[in-house]
């Protein structure tokens, strides 16, 4: 059964690659949901409804982070690059360029 998450025939891909693709798709879906919740919260006038959405947003943050950690553990070069960018002070682009060079 083909899906949009694969660019090669799924039956030709190893199970590990299919799992990786699923996690990438899930990460993308969580990021999209985070964006939707931010928009909804920004315009919601009802405090109770907004509080529920904010709680749901926290769940999306958690899911995004867990999926990202899974992918980083599965991909050492990606993890090394992320270490040079995430949670670092300074210019994000400069940190990214340095991290990319270090990971090559």
Segment 35-68, tens digit of pLDDT? 999 999 999 999 999 999 999 999 999 999 999 9
pLDDT of residue 5: 78
Contact criterion met (CB below 8 Å) for 68 and 46: no
Q: What is the pTM (predicted TM-score) of this model?
A: 0.87
pLDDT of residue 2: 47
Band (pLDDT 50/70/90 cuts) for residue 76 is very high
Residue 1 has pLDDT above 60, yes or no: no
Domain boundaries defined on the chain: 18-102
Nearest to 79 by CA among 97, 99, 52, 101: 99
pLDDT of residue 3: 59
8 CB-contact burial (10 Å; exposed 0-12 / middle 13-18 / buried 19+): exposed
């Amino acid at each position: 059964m083909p899906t949009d998450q694969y660019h090669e025939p799924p039956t030709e891909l190893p199970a590990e690659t299919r799992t990786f693709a699923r996690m990438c798709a899930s990460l993308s879906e969580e990021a999209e949901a985070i964006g939707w919740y931010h928009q909804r919260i920004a315009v919601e006038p009802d405090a109770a409804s907004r509080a529920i959405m904010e709680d749901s947003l926290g769940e999306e943050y958690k899911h995004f982070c867990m999926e990202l950690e899974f992918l980083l553990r599965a991909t050492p070069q990606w993890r090394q690059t992320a270490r040079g960018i995430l949670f670092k002070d300074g210019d994000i682009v400069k940190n990214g360029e340095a991290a990319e060079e270090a990971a090559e």
